[in-house]
Structure 1
Amino acid sequence: MAPYRIRLYRDEDYDAVRSLFARGIIEHAPAMYRHVLRLAHVQLGLLALFTAVRAVAGSWLLALAAVALALAAAWPVMRSFSFSFVTEALIADLCDIRGSYMRAPDSCFWVAEAGGAVVGMVGAAPSPRGEAMELKRLSVSRDHRGHGISKALCGEVLRFAQARGYRAVVLYTSTVQLVAQRLYERQGFRKVAETSPSLFSSLICFYLIHYRLELPSRPQGFPYSCTAEK
């Protein structure tokens, strides 16, 4: 793998950052699909469908076809679920990255660069209640995972939060992002809550997991600048 470096976001990174984020989220659609198929009530529903069609039509083939059709119909639903999350982010903070992170108080955005390309990203901003720093939009290109880039990006946020005087860093990830969960837990984050963002999410047992990491006191003489690079 080409050496990488972590640097502050620049305006010319805009399209690469948004594309990287979208790809990273959509990659989880198959995991979401498998998660749904493992649910007991979904499996019972498919069994009930098979039994009902078999009883009415008197055909094993039609019953199997009905189950196959239901499985095929579930895939675009799961994929659209991922697309809706991407769309929401792209019209929110990722619509104006400089305004959201580089000009906003106590906020910053970094990218990981390798071979002249943006291969990773992460943002930091005060949590909605302002009592902690929130780690946001962490993503690393598939071809560059497993080389410590995620850990390095996470470290930038922790140092930034500590330098700004925050006593904790929080973040949200999802039920199906198992690799991300392991990464955060290795960094010392602990699960503090699980929430369901919608009724549909509750039906498919999809939860947002809230993580929190308490930080030590800020060391003396530990400045950290997030002046946007031009």
Structure 2
Amino acid sequence: MRPHEVDVVAHLTVEAYTHDYDLSESYVRSLADVHDRARSDEVWVAEDTATGAILGTVWTPRPGARISAVARDDELDFRLLAVSPDARGRGIGEALVSHVVGLGRIRGVKRVVMNTGSIMLPAQRLYTRLGFVRLPDREERIEVEPGRFVDIFAFGLDLD
């Protein structure tokens, strides 16, 4: 992501997640906080080469770091895979996940991991289709706001 794209990526991420899910205000704010993510980590975009439009995004840590509790030593984690609702069905999510897997291979990690909400079925189908498997020992139930709980599923892809 280039610095001038921060606001576009923030808007796309919020739009992608709120298009399908009823989210707490605090989670929506965290989705939009691309500037802070980019300061310490890597935010990648998928761009339409014909129009220059940003179609999707994904967040990874810098080499040697982690962004979530799901990651262990020698693993690369990613978060906030988002595809514009207007660009869905074009392979953008798969391309972004493939990019992350490629980063994992370049960095020499043994596994790429991530987590997703139990209700995020399209994302789970994508990860499963790409060879990711559930990691039940890393799953949890979190309270996203008082009295509202979400089951978080973990997935991993072993790299050769």
Distance in 1 between residues matched to 2:18 and 2:25, nearest whole Å = 7
Percent identical pairs in the alignment equals 31
* Dislocated runs of 4+, deviation >4 Å: none
Deviation at 1:162, TM superposition (A): 1.0
1:91-110 to structure 2, matched below 5 A, reads 91=33, 94-101=34-41, 108-110=42-44
Give the superposed CA RMSD.
Answer: 1.8
Counting matched residue pairs gives 147
What residue ranges of structure 1 are gaps of 5+ in the alignment?
Answer: 1-8, 30-78, 102-107, 217-230
> Which residue identity lines up with residue 195 of structure 1 in the other structure?
E
1:1-230 to structure 2, matched below 5 A, reads 9-29=1-21, 79=22, 81-91=23-33, 94-101=34-41, 108-114=42-48, 115-125=51-61, 126-127=65-66, 128=69, 129-193=72-136, 194-198=139-143, 200-202=147-149, 206-216=150-160
Higher RCO (CA 8 Å, separation ≥ 6 residues): 1
Assess, with a 3 A threshold, how the Cα gap between structure 1 residues 146 and 85 changes in structure 2: closer, same or farther.
same
**TM-score normalized by the length of structure 1:** 0.59
Distance in 1 between residues matched to 2:40 and 2:114, nearest whole Å = 17
Aligned residues of 2:11 and 2:32 also touching (Cα < 8 A): no
**TM-score normalized by the length of structure 2:** 0.83
> Which residue identity lines up with residue 197 of structure 1 in the other structure?
I
Structure number with larger C-alpha Rg: 1
Assess, with a 3 A threshold, how the Cα gap between structure 1 residues 122 and 164 changes in structure 2: closer, same or farther.
same
> Which residue identity lines up with residue 30 of structure 2 in the other structure?
E
